[in-house]
Structure 1
Amino acid sequence: MALIDLPLLMKDAVRGKRSAVTCQLKCASQCAFGQCNHSDNPTFRDIASGALSRRAVIGGSTAALAIGLAGTQGALADPGNGKGKGQGNGKGGAGHRPPNGTKLTFTPIEPVDAAVDEFTVPRGFAWHPIIRWGDPLFDDAPEFDWNAQSAEAQKRQFGYNNDYTEIQEIPGTAGKRAVMFVNHEYTNENIMLPADTDAEEAIEIGRAAHGLTVVELERKNKNFPYRYVQGAELNRRILLDDEFALTGPAAGSDLVRTVEDPEGRTVLGTLGNCAGGLTPWGTLVSGEENFHGYFRSAGTSDAEKRYGLRDAATARGWENAHDRYDARNEGYENEVNRFGYIVEVDPFDPTSTPRKHTSLGRFKHEGANIIIAEDGRAVAYSGDDEKFDYLYKFVSRDRYVEGDREHNLTLLENGDLYVARFTGNSPAAEIDGSGEVPSDGAFDGTGEWLPLVVDGESQVPGFTVEEVLVHTRLAADAVGPTKMDRCEDVEPSLHSRRVYVACTNNSDRGTAGKAAADEANPRSQNRDGHVVEIDEQGDQTSTAFAWNLLLVAGDPAQGDQTYFSGFPVEKVSPISCPDNLAFDSVGNLWISTDGAPSGIGYNDGLFRVTLEGEARGRVEQFLSVPIDGETCGPIIRDEDRSAFVSVQHPGEDGEFGAQRSYFPDYDGQGPKPTVVQVLPQRG
């Protein structure tokens, strides 16, 4: 008998990008139970067209952008020259003039069939595992054993399903040492553990494989890949029984108090961590996304329904072993209200208490990414990763002070919260759900940030500040933002200060009883997703913006209706389901994908997109991950021709003893989620 029961009905009910197994384990098969957002928010067809002129809308000019600060991903990483494994099927060489003069030149690889269990890179490059699930982090941690895993061992080892990844150099080490932060989104005990594992022990192993990891890295010099350092001073595992401090106006509220925490200020653990970001002051933030799948509740209130909570047994059954995962239990009704936030961790202080910031709202955060506005305030962008949910922006109350880390650590505790409404500038008849570009040559328009909390006061009638920040979805529904096609990673560019939003897909768009296509989400049954580009025109704190679509994804060779900012569709790499975003040192956008196998039929990968000039919209595939895997946490170090990705859930559809993947070791045992570095091949 399997350790996790995956009902057969889920395999028939799940629609969209992922396998039924991933849907059940990652998001509790939310799609099978219908959308959470039943609000009557207006669509573009109900909103008057915007007032910005065509020249003011971004995407109308190909003028070069000013090059400013370094990209928003972490501090550094250097190329190795090991031989690695799985050298790719590209032909080597630059292939064309590299965008913005980047040093990371390569010939795009051909897409890899979804049945292939290989990590594929361009010829001339090699890939190297940095750290794998189960690798021991501490001197007293046991070596991983497929047939003898335990909860106590897992607590001292690298967790499962690494997602967001960040690397920062450790000062004073001459570039030879760095610290890496990784979160662990969810587990699949059916391929992790033998089927005869004790059920209670399987629960505790699974719990111990969640959470966060901080680990030191080292290398001989810039010509070698990183490797992790067992027993290093900064190594840390943050687990589900570790304390997190609640901050902001909702901390201490009646909405977050429980029998174990009557003051409502200390939460144990973090769940469903997906993407994240590096703050300007050197900490890491991570988004709690699909937390609902870990809790059983009555499922009767509007708030419970809006977050997908149900009175049904969860896949992992944690509610049977720990009272706090069953919100029906007296005293634990609010436990679920303590998840769904942006968490912040200081990787340089192993004794620090991680924090959950209520000021950024509670929803299914993909992540958060932060830029310092022109007036010095910190601005954080975050997407709510569910069909027909929203895009948010937070503006701190206080201002960033260079060099004052203690002060800057408080910036996410108080501020203003907004949600986005998009308006298109094309006639409604031209947005028919086909994805065909309107007559003005672009999907574009204007938008506004609708206030939810400003100057410490609620802007939503009938909601207190605490209610806005704990029941953020309900509060946002009340002000009428735009329902999006699963806005996932949201990244501001420090080169152009434009903001990019990865909308992964939405198979329900335009179907019976669901929101119709609009100009910001122009394709019905949107299988392959798209990327939005936002321009706040010199003021990151503004409540107005212009926008356009950078690309509408798919495979032109298969006849998909696509758009790549006017770049010839026959000259792009096919791409489906954009998920995480990153920038290289010269401002090119990089996209990792999650769902291409069930979209265009190829393994997920990492892609570079040119943002400027005549080649704007050109998509080039750099790497491909193994069967069933998702490409996460991209970090680009193009100065050194190097890149990093986290490979999540390889071989997801297998079973222990009948595995589908053997990545990264290919030793006949089974798959291990792994952080990988790609760099020029030596020799």
Structure 2
Amino acid sequence: MSEIEGGEGRRRRLLPLLTSGHGGRSAMTCKYRCGDACSHPAPNASDNEYFGDMVSTAMSRRGLLRTGAAAAVVVGAGSTSALTTAAPAAARPSGPKPPSQLRPTPPEYGRPVGFTPVGDNGLDSVVVPNGYDWSVTIAWGDPVEDGAPEFDFDNQSVDAQLRQFGYNADFVAVLPLDRNFDRAVLWVNHEYTNDELMFRGWPGPEAADPELLRISMAAHGGSVVELERVGDTGEWKPATRGRRRYNRRVHTNTEFRLTGAAAGSEHVRTGADPDGTTVLGTLNNCAGGVTPWGTILSGEENFHQYFGATADVTDSATVERYNRYGIRTSAGTGRGWERADERFDVANEPNEPNRFGWVVEVDPYDPDSTPRKHTALGRFKHEGANVNIAADGRAVAYMGDDERFDYVYKFVSRKKYRDGNSKRDREHNMTLLEDGDLYVAKFTGNSPEFPGNPPADGLFDGTGEWLPLVKDGESMVDGMTVDEVLVFTRLAADKLGPTKMDRPEDVEPHPVTGTVYIALTNNNRRTPGQIDEPNPRPDNKFGHVMGIDEDGADAAATSFTWHIVLLAGDPENPDTYYGGFDKSQVSQISCPDNVAFDPAGRLWLATDGMSGSLGPNDGMFVMPVEGEDTGHLRRFLSVPVGAECCGPFITPDGRTALMAVQHPGDGDGASPDSPLSTFPYGGQPRPSVVTVWRTVPDEDGYIGD
């Protein structure tokens, strides 16, 4: 393999050839996670151009090469190109600090990674580096609310599940409750259920007893669980002292209030809610974020699969809208929920699907509060939302639409964030996501020779702009009102010609530099004729990570530059790129899904699909994105057989990593009578939240050192 010298004496490999492959989930995961979305045509049937269809003559208007921009990947067999070393980007000012309750003393910014990576494996356990330990914090069925019974796999009930920890944990967050950070609240998304693993003798959705369907429904949503620190360690367990007043289950019967311009729209009104302002439940909650004012944002993702139809949908406008979101239009069932609750029958309630696909905000500090669905942030298959503060004080939320060939979005609030600790300040900040401007991203490569030849500058980078969908309270989309843009955001965005991406999932700004990192999990349907500089591989089964820098280091800017940070896959393959670091020293990674940052500024990645694409179990990885160690990706842990690694979350004091072990034992042919995993307690596999901490601490005991 060819090499050239990089900065600080590192060897940087050339990437002479693109390879192909297929996505890595099991059939069971595909069925329950997204309703077999990958087996159907991509919902985005718009005729938006791919860069590969265009003849571009314009180079980058700024001509900047960003640190970590991707190496050249060439489409033609046997061709090669050189990779030049980009000059480092200038340091950016730190953004506003979060409220005082989120300010434990963090580790020194920029600390190096020091642990020995965990090797690839297929073990039915969580595996962590030497000097670390782990424990299960809470698992499916554990009691959450008062009166919840102990879990009994063979004697489940709706009443029990409504008060017990839900299934398939995804996003996790921990928010302090006291100054010493000895007590905290844990928030967890419950994305979906694997019914074949939940119930012995599962007969399928068409024949299942409606009671089983209602148990499955109750296992969705989220949980708030009060935690306490174990001694002076980084370990956390559910609180046993005091009232545990914060504990709460959020589920499919929880009332949510719609906010924003689409609240009350004719498109969200139903027979049960003629005002269109109150929704029961939240569905398929995937990733999320913690706001600067101390609330949780949770993204409703693959909500389409929960709706069935007792008759064909014939209205042409409704069919077009349903098709763009993957919602059933012919008579039939998906999860069977319409058999337990008629609102999930689109023939009975055609607007009910429009009440899902939003960003949800939950206040974990107030167990009596009503969660909200913010229509101003648009409706699509939200992976999550993460907030930065613009130079003028407005809140900016970044979002990805997790579908093949869909888009990246951001929202900019009309009102400004108040960096105070009073009750009035917090109440004000909790209205920021109710009104503002909504944008969708268009990425432009800066090499007219690509595709068909290497990028002229040897790097995958370029510029971009945020195209307004709603601006100053007005629709920017011809023929659509504001509420139509917000309810049918995918269709509105199609009209503006944004860039079709490789499943944009978690989107999160760096807490100091402001660079926004985007996990693009994979896309095995992209053809060679559809590649472009932001999505440079056909049949992209391994995924990649992109960074964007807003112009003027201002999150409210409408233009940006972008660069590829990571082209995932086997480091031995020439079409991979690890931030320019020597690939003989990195851990392999595939299907990056969730991203997070620790207080030292290091990027953490969780994966979804490694076993199907590379072979080993999924895991959690850390990769510095600044300094000499940039791109030195290392596996921090691996999860059990059949499981996906979700989260991750590094506590504000830097002493604990938390992550979710989702769907352990998921695999073709798995059942309660023939389990593929016994994680975590032996017996039936149970999705769980796991805490990891140092047992042989350095001076401070920080995670990742």
TM over 0.5: yes
Matched residue SS, 1:54: coil
Structure 1 residues not aligned, in runs of 5+: 1-13, 80-97
Cross-structure match for 1:288: 300
Once residues 151 and 96 of structure 2 are traced to their aligned partners in structure 1, the CA distance between those partners, rounded to angstroms, is 38
Superposition pairs of residues 307-456 of structure 1, within 5 angstroms: 307-310=325-328, 311-329=330-348, 332-403=349-420, 404-430=425-451, 438-456=455-473
One-letter amino acid matched to 1:481: P
Q: Name 2:129's counterpart in structure 1.
A: 122
Corresponding position: 1:548 with 2:538: no
Q: 1:110-129 CA distances to partner (integer Å, 9 max, x unpaired)?
A: 1123xx31211111111111
Preserved CA contact (<8 Å) 1:373 1:539: yes
| 1:556 to partner: Cα distance | 2.1
- Return the match for 1:473 from 461, 486, 490: 490
- Structure 2 residue aligned with 1:582, among 589, 596, 606? 596
Letter in 2 for 1:205: I
Conserved? CA contact 1:184–1:210, under 8 Å = yes
Q: Which amino acid aligns with 2:333?
A: T
1:496 corresponds to which residue?
513
Evaluate the alpha carbon distance shift between residue 224 and residue 445 of structure 1 in structure 2; reply closer, same or farther with a 3 A threshold: closer
Counterpart amino acid of residue 615 in structure 2: G
Structure 2 residue 272 is matched with structure 1 residue 255: no
Tell me the distance in 2 between the aligned counterparts of 1:633 and 1:266.
29
SS at match of 2:495: helix
1:596 to 610, 614, 621: 610
| CA deviations over 1:345-364 (Å, ceiling 9, x no partner) | 00000110000000000000
Cα distance in 2 between the residues matched to 1:273 and 1:478: 27
2:42 matches 1:35: yes
In structure 2, the CA distance between the partners of 1:617 and 1:64, relative to structure 1 (3 Å rule), is farther
Q: Judging changes above 3 Å, is the alpha-carbon distance between structure 1 residues 345 and 441 closer, same or farther for their aligned structure 2 residues?
A: same
Which residue in 2 is equivalent to 1:659? 675
Distance 1:408 1:265, change over 3 A: same
**Contact 1:105/1:641 (CA < 8 Å) preserved in 2?**
no
Q: Which residue of 2 aligns with 1:178?
A: 184
Match of 2:64 in 1: 55
Q: What secondary structure does 2:110 align onto?
A: helix
Aligned partners of 1:78 and 1:223 also within 8 Å: no
Distance of 2:109 and 2:503 partners within structure 1: 29
- Following superposition, the deviation at residue 478 of structure 1 comes to 0.2
In the alignment, which of 220, 226, 238 is matched to residue 216 of structure 1? 226
Distance 1:71 1:399 in 2: 14
CA distance in 1, matches of 2:657, 2:546: 24
Q: CA deviation at 1:606?
A: 0.8
Equivalent pairs, count: 636
What is the identity, as a one-letter code, of the residue corresponding to 2:537?
R
Whole-Å separation in 2 of the counterparts to 1:26 and 1:303: 21
Structure 1 match to 2:692: 678
Aligned-residue offset at 1:583: 0.6
Contact 1:77 1:642 in 2 (8 A): no
In structure 1, distance between residues paired with 2:351 and 2:325: 13
Alpha-carbon separation, structure 2, partners of 1:510 and 1:360: 31
SS in 2 for 1:55: coil
Cα RMSD for the two superposed structures: 2.4
Q: For residue 36 of structure 2, what is the amino acid of its counterpart?
A: S
Q: 2:98, 2:41 → 1: CA distance?
A: 35
From 612, 618, 635, the counterpart of 2:626 = 612
Question: Higher mean Cα deviation, 475-484 or 396-405?
Answer: 396-405
Give deviations 1:127-153, integer Å, cap 9, x for gaps. Answer: 111010000113311000111111111
CA distance in 2, matches of 1:124, 1:148: 40
Partner of 1:276 in structure 2?
288
Which position in structure 1 is the counterpart of 2:321? 303
Cα distance per residue 1:75-106 (max 9 Å; x no partner) = 48999xxxxxxxxxxxxxxxxxx99224x630
The Cα offsets for residues 42-74 of structure 1, whole Å up to 9 and x where unpaired, read as 222425535333336454323674573699999
Instruction: Give the match for residue 73 of structure 2.
Output: none
Go from structure 1 to structure 2 and tell me whether the alpha carbon gap of 1:40 and 1:428 turns closer, same or farther (over 3 Å shift): farther
> Contact 1:442 / 1:565 at 8 angstroms: preserved in 2?
no
Q: Distance in 2 between matches of 1:224 and 1:516?
A: 47
Cα pair 1:423 1:447 within 8 Å, conserved: yes
> What's the offset of the Cα at 1:426?
1.8
Letter in 2 for 1:441: G
CA distance in 2, matches of 1:622, 1:76: 25
Match of 2:3 in 1: none
Residue 148 (1) aligns with residue 155 (2): yes
Q: How does 1:482-561 map to 2 (within 5 A)?
A: 482-510=499-527, 516-537=530-551, 538-557=553-572, 559=573, 561=575
Cα deviations by residue, 1:385-414 (Å, 9 ceiling, x for unpaired): 000000001000110112201111100000
1:105 corresponding residue in structure 2:
114
Tell me the distance in 1 between the aligned counterparts of 2:635 and 2:331.
42
Indicate which of 222, 235, 247 corresponds to 2:247: 235
Distance 2:102 2:383 in 1: 22
Q: 1:195 deviation in Å?
A: 1.4
Secondary structure, in 3 states, of the residue corresponding to 1:479? coil
Following superposition, the deviation at residue 191 of structure 1 comes to 1.1
The C-alpha deviation readout for 1:332-386, integer Å capped at 9, x for no partner, is 1100000000000000001100000000000000000001111000000000000
Deviations 1:156-215 (A, max 9, x none): 11000010100010035x321000111100001211122179722211110111111111
Deviation for aligned residue 1:644: 1.1
Identical pairs, percent: 52
**CA contact 1:72–1:492 (8 Å) conserved in 2:** no
Range that drifts further, 51-60 or 218-227: 51-60
Q: Quick check: 1:25–1:315 contact (8 Å CA) kept in 2? A: no
Q: Contact 2:599 / 2:654 at 8 angstroms: preserved in 1? A: no
Q: Give the corresponding residue for 1:207.
A: 217
Tell me the secondary structure at the aligned position of residue 647 of structure 1: strand
Which segment drifts farther, 631-640 or 405-414? 631-640
1:510 CA drift (Å): 0.8
How many angstroms apart in 2 are the aligned matches of 1:178 and 1:548?
37
Matches of 2:228 and 2:655, distance apart in 1: 18
Structure 1 SS opposite 2:577: coil
Query: Is the CA contact (8 Å cut-off) linking 1:50 and 1:423 kept in structure 2?
Result: no
Secondary structure of the structure 1 residue equivalent to 2:173:
strand
Report how far residue 623 of structure 1 moved.
0.4
Alpha-carbon offset, residue 224 of structure 1: 5.1
Aligned partners of 1:135 and 1:224: how far apart in 2? 22
Deviations 1:478-533 (A, max 9, x none): 0000000000000001110010000000000016xxx6110000000001000010
Query: Unaligned regions of 5+ residues in structure 2, if any?
Result: 1-20, 69-85, 698-705
User: Structure 2 CA distance, aligned partners of 1:67 and 1:500?
Assistant: 17
CA distance in 2, matches of 1:522, 1:171: 47
Partners of 1:251 and 1:131 in 2: CA distance: 36
Confirm or deny: 8 A CA contact 2:520 2:593 kept in the other structure: yes
